Chain A
Amino acid sequence: MKVSLAVWLYGSEARGDASPSSDVDVLLVGEGLVPREVSQRYRGRRISVSRYGWEEMRGMAEYGSLFLHHLRTEAKVLYESPDTAGRLRAILNGLPRYQRAQRDVRAFRQSLLDISAELPEPPDLEFELATLAALIRRIGILGSYLLGRPRFDRIGPVTEIVEAWKLPGVLSSEFGALYRHRVVADGVDSVPTPPNAGVLTLWIERAGSMLDRLETQTDESLKLVHH
Chain B
Amino acid sequence: MSHLSLCTTRIQQVRVLASDPELAYAARTRLRRAVLACTQLVARRAGLREPRYPGRYDLPPGAPPELRRICEITNRLLDRSQSICQPSEPLDDRWSDGWSEILAQLDELERSLPGVEQGTPNTPLQPPSAAAER
Contact assessment for A114 and B30 in the assembled complex, using a CB-CB cutoff below 8 Å: yes
User: Chain A contacts of B126 at CB under 8 A?
Assistant: none
User: Chain B contacts of A131 at CB under 8 A?
Assistant: 29, 32
Task: Give the residue of A51, A65, A111, A192 whose beta carbon is less than 8 angstroms from that of B86.
Answer: A51
Chain B, 89-124, contact with A by CB distance < 8 Å: what is the 0/1 string? 101111000000000000000000000000000000
Contact assessment for B91 and A60 in the assembled complex, using a CB-CB cutoff below 8 Å: yes
User: Chain B contacts of A59 at CB under 8 A?
Assistant: 91-93
Chain A, 125-144, contact with B by CB distance < 8 Å: what is the 0/1 string? 01100110000001000000
Task: Give the residue of B32, B37, B87 whose beta carbon is less than 8 angstroms from that of A25.
Answer: B87
CB distance from B79 to the nearest CB of A (A): 13
Interface size on A, residues (CB 8 A): 29
- In the complex, A153 has a CB within 8 A of chain B: no
Task: Give the residue of A56, A65, A107, A126 whose beta carbon is less than 8 angstroms from that of B24.
Answer: A107
Task: Give the residue of A50, A103, A111 whose beta carbon is less than 8 angstroms from that of B87.
Answer: A50
| A67/B26 contact (C-beta < 8 A), A124-B33, A124-B36, A127-B54 known | no
User: Chain B contacts of A126 at CB under 8 A?
Assistant: 52-53
User: Chain B contacts of A173 at CB under 8 A?
Assistant: none
CB distance from A145 to the nearest CB of B (A): 12
Contact assessment for B26 and A114 in the assembled complex, using a CB-CB cutoff below 8 Å: yes
- Docked CA distance A77–B63 (Å): 46
- Docked CA distance A110–B129 (Å): 33
- Docked CA distance A185–B36 (Å): 12
- Docked CA distance A104–B22 (Å): 7
Question: Which A residues from 84 to 143 make CB contacts under 8 A with B?
Answer: 103-104, 106-108, 110-111, 114, 123-124, 126-127, 130-131, 138
Interface size on B, residues (CB 8 A): 29
User: Chain A contacts of B86 at CB under 8 A?
Assistant: 50-51
Give the nearest-CB partner of A48 in chain B.
Answer: B87
- In the complex, A187 has a CB within 8 A of chain B: yes
- In the complex, A66 has a CB within 8 A of chain B: yes
User: Chain A contacts of B26 at CB under 8 A?
Assistant: 107-108, 110-111, 114
Identify whether the interface residues of A are mostly helix, strand, loop, or mixed. helix
User: Chain B contacts of A51 at CB under 8 A?
Assistant: 83, 86
- Docked CA distance A226–B94 (Å): 30
Give the nearest-CB partner of A123 in chain B.
Answer: B6
CB distance from A17 to the nearest CB of B (A): 17
- Docked CA distance A104–B88 (Å): 11
CB distance from B12 to the nearest CB of A (A): 13
Contact assessment for A67 and B87 in the assembled complex, using a CB-CB cutoff below 8 Å: yes
Contact assessment for B53 and A185 in the assembled complex, using a CB-CB cutoff below 8 Å: yes
- In the complex, B134 has a CB within 8 A of chain A: yes
Contact assessment for B22 and A103 in the assembled complex, using a CB-CB cutoff below 8 Å: yes
User: Chain A contacts of B30 at CB under 8 A?
Assistant: 114
CB distance from A188 to the nearest CB of B (A): 10
Contact assessment for A106 and B134 in the assembled complex, using a CB-CB cutoff below 8 Å: no
User: Chain A contacts of B87 at CB under 8 A?
Assistant: 25, 48, 50, 67
Give the nearest-CB partner of B94 in chain A.
Answer: A56
- Docked CA distance A66–B88 (Å): 10
Contact assessment for A104 and B25 in the assembled complex, using a CB-CB cutoff below 8 Å: yes
Contact assessment for B25 and A185 in the assembled complex, using a CB-CB cutoff below 8 Å: no
- In the complex, B17 has a CB within 8 A of chain A: yes
5 A/B residue pairs, CB under 8 Å, sorted by A: A50-B87, A59-B92, A104-B25, A124-B33, A185-B53
